[in-house]
Structure 1
Amino acid sequence: MLVFKFGGASVKDSKGVKNLLNIVKDYTDNLIIVISALGKTTNALEEILKTSIEDLNKSYSKYEDLKSYHLELVKELFPNENDKIYKDIKEEFDNLKKELNNKTYSSYDKKYDQVVSFGEILSTKIVSAFLNSQQLSNSWVDIRKVFITDDVFREASIDFEKTSINAESVFNFKNQTIYLTQGFIGATNDGFVTTLGREGSDYTAAALANVLNADKVIVWKDVDGILNADPQYFQDTEKLDKISYQEAVELAYFGAKVIHPKTLKPLHNKNIPLFVRSFIKPEGSGTEIDCFKKYDQNLPIFILKKDQMLISLFPKDLSFVFEDELSKIFKYLSEHRIRVNLIQNSAISISLCIDNSNSKSKQLIERFKEDYKVLYNDQLELLTIRHYSEDAIQKVTKGKKIYIEQRSRHTAHFVIK
């Protein structure tokens, strides 16, 4: 059994949906297809939600734009306007409007998940219906009834024991060889929708592969495989043909965008290989991630995280004791749900490099000011180089101001501007 995952870029228009059909129809294995929201729909839903809180009427114009985008895609794929999919999509948008009008949610994050999750429901209904219309029989599955999670909205954790029982029952392949479902989302025991973190559709595919003991997972991207650098920021990039789980985890942790950081663990636990391949050039071999550390290449790998903030904390009375203060600092970070990308300390200071999450970052700084003298710089970048050399470092840091530099055996970090 195989698990395929297609991201939003692969199904952003009718050409993309038809390309997905051409890729999938060549496979005869039992197959689960996981799909993200169309194109930039998640971003659009975030903007609609944000606007609805400030001005509900103003948000409706953005809502109508998103509705038109989906219905235009449906029109291109289904010329017969009496097709059931038109009714299905309109009903989902009616449900979305109800959620936007719902003022009963106890937190923004909870409402966020109820609203933003519509992106995956809409995309999968359209793609599933199209595949069926082209005689590629498949069953649409509501993953919200399969993935049981905790109630940490926007960063939910899967209850693998309960989810495994549900998945084995739903994805049984008794009367169907292809199932199509949503990435990114799940639900609590009491039925509220949760999301698994941005880019969490990769994690959905990995979790399904784990509980159903899949033979392999293929993540279809708009790149030929995992490259040693993002071509958007670096020149002369090279493809990594094979890497180990361990190397992939390192890359994901430091911010490589190809694989979601949580994706590798459920695959590694079951020794399930993951392939990253191009939906643009599906005949390509892509990159394989598996248990073969001997294939890890010593090619320098460059990872750039933009929009970073460097926060430096100093004691107000020079009584700083690093070990005693560290637990308090990380308690504050946990309360604001902010992850540290890099940390550096001296006798009387601690510096933290974090993703600049605007409101969360500002709240964190105000919290720190209660106990420490605080200095910070924003609009920075965190550059990580795996398997670095002096030539590689000079090549990418030339002309940059370096705020912090750290090196270990295989990895170098630079906070730069």
Structure 2
Amino acid sequence: MFDVNEIRKDFPILDRKVNGKPLVYLDNAATSQTPRQVIDVIVEYYQNYNANIHRGVHALSQEATDKYEQARIKIQKHFNAAKAHEIIFTSGTTHSINIVANGFSSLLKKGDEVLVSAMEHHSNIVPWQMLCERTGGLLKVIPMNQDGELLMDEYDKLLSDKTKLVFCNHISNALGTINPIEEIIEKAHGVGAAVLIDGAQAAPHIVADVQALDVDFYTISAHKVCGPTGAGMLYGKEELLTKLPPYQGGGEMIAEVTFEKTSYADLPHKFEAGTPNICGGIAFGAALDYMNSIGFDDIAKYEHELLEYATQKLLEIDKLKIYGTAKDKTSVISFNIEGVHPYDIGSILDKLGIAVRTGHHCAQPIMDFFNIPGTVRASFCFYNTKEEVDVLVEGVKRAKNMLL
């Protein structure tokens, strides 16, 4: 039985006050909060078995190694990857994307085309621009409409035998749109292109089955799924990861080193140079355990209720406009008040203890498309409540009255 009040007890930070007001945390698309169950795992690591992994014969090292590799297997099973070594631990989605972009520097040729959607986060735009600059590749954009939906007919026109790579987020961080990635992947494969899906925003809401999707690469960040910052995952099909050269050189990613030649380790270690974020990886696994204990179906159902309730209440405010009205979207609402800068609204809401995000949300091309400087973004998680939505709505009304 989904009981939001019981769930909230797992999150110590939700009891604090900001500016003398109870915290209403609605910036979950940026970073979700961390439950006590995950915090306890972090504390346990540093108190009981803090040691480097894969290298030591002593008990602490072996215990840390076992816990770290168990976390890899948890992540593999969660996303239904075929093999554990197809899961590469990274510092987050940005790191994961850059591993792939760097690797394709040796595979992409002048005149090859890469496609990216119009609603990408900067971390899924800039690495591909850099890749094209290095290789002479051409970056093309899948356009979107005023509802924040990709124009799939235009996508069809862009695809050709020159298309080598396609990049798209599963869910837009700025608009909440759930993109039709199954269709995107299938059509890209039809012309022989590889596909990377940025799953950072999807992971808190949807369990992606990477084998069923037949996706080539999938990335997420642990801090979006109630885990720690500085930890993430790159999933890649074994044959593609084997083709890509290492992103960084150093310890752990080698098989043998001489001054004349170095040979590289097998997957996944080829892409995990240096001492990793051991605690972060272990806590990442614990965070997925926690969310699975609640149940993603129940999470999705509850968050959809919050989205519908908040959308209805906010639209009752005169001069408020929501950006991102796709038929298929998750619990993110980006909005503006006509004649008011989003930063000013966000500042007033903060004084009331309400945490929202303002600005372009690292998705500046979306804001340029709508010809706006940015939006106020309220993003909801399964530990938020309708009462908090009411506080948000009253706060927006108050900010509007102060600023107009």
> TM-score under structure 1 normalisation?
0.23
Greater RCO (CA < 8 Å, at least 6 residues apart): 2
> TM-score under structure 2 normalisation?
0.24
